[in-house]
Amino acid sequence: MPLDFSYRPRSPSDFPNWTFPTVDLDYDPASQSVWMYYKSEAPPFYSLQTLRDMADIRESLKLLFRKGLNAKYPVRYFAMASRKPGVFNLGGDLAMFAQSIRDQDHENLSFYAHACIDVVHGLAVAFDLPIVTISVITGQALGGGLEAALAEDYVLAEESAKIGVPEVAFNTFPGMGAVSLLSRRLGTARAEDIIASGRIYSGREMYDLGVVDIVAPAGEAHTATLAWMTDGGEERFQRRRAIAAARRRFFPITREELERITDIWVNCSCDVTPHDIRHMERLAAAQKRFSAGQFT
């Protein structure tokens, strides 16, 4: 049976000492920022547990604001980053994808896909909170890893990061937000070029294309993000928040849009060939080696 995806928000009174199985949470008072890190020992892809942890962080922060405890711990920024060397996030659970496709288990694949959309849409609307969100990409951000990063208001990447949506390699497409998010950043034609090529870009190349907003030298992503957050103080923060809110109003990404596209992805994925499934399984084995720390 799929993992229960009901939300389990943490107590506001325990902030910032919230704990989650696959992610860490830190609070930086100088920048008034909450940092979510994928744990070094957690799967390098989006397991259902990781998706639930991310949804629980969203609901926990919303409850913190509703209870007024953000007055004690002001939150301007939410940053998404990774503690795993060489990896931001490798995207979907390919082993589960491959097995679900072999079994023609549309229900299981759809459950997972809609759990992803729940997380991506929450990020795309900044949790409906008066904050600014930023993804901090170090290492590889592939497939769903890039989709989650793009859902944030701003994207910072190290120059050496490896970024892309390689799903075309097994004759499907990134179905959990890339179509919508890339199209809004770049326009439909350039977004389709990136999706159709399956090419992996460096952080610098993605900055030059306009996918990444801020680029940092290798090893300096965290320092660069803190400097960006604190630059200009309250006035700069308010301007960034207004720009992000205006962008969301002008280019809204609705949950219905994301769900309809991911339903197309489920049907497309279940129609791939046995050859495509075997390629997916080879990539799943690579994800497993990352999980075991066999290479970075």
Q: Is the pTM of this model over 0.85?
A: yes
Residue 3 pLDDT > 60: no
Residue with tokens 């405890």: 69
- Domains of the chain are 12-287 (3.90.226.10)
Q: What is the dihedral of CA 110, 287, 208, 123, to 10 degrees?
A: 40
Contact 194, 165 (CB under 8 A): yes
Closest by alpha carbon to 277, among 141, 105, 94? 94
Q: How far apart are CA 19 and CA 35, in angstroms?
A: 13
Across the range 233-254, mean pLDDT stands at 95
- Output the CA–CA distances (angstroms, integers) from residue 184 to 127, 178, 206, 269, in the order listed: 19, 10, 15, 24
Mean pLDDT for the chain?
Answer: 95
DSSP track, 72-118: TS---EEEEEE-STTEEE--S-HHHHHHHHHTT-HHHHHHHHHHHHH
Compute the average pLDDT of residues 130-159: 98
Question: Which tokens is 140 given?
Answer: 């590889």
pLDDT in tens, 173-192: 999 999 999 999 999 999 99
Report the distance separating Cα 107 and Cα 169, nearest Å. Answer: 24
Q: What is the pLDDT of residue 293?
A: 57
Name the residue with tokens 């892309």: 164
Instruction: Tell me the two tokens of residue 24.
Output: 């860490």
Cα–Cα nearest to 136, from 144, 128, 145: 145
% of the chain surpassing 70 pLDDT: 97
Average pLDDT for residues 215-241, to the nearest whole number?
Answer: 97
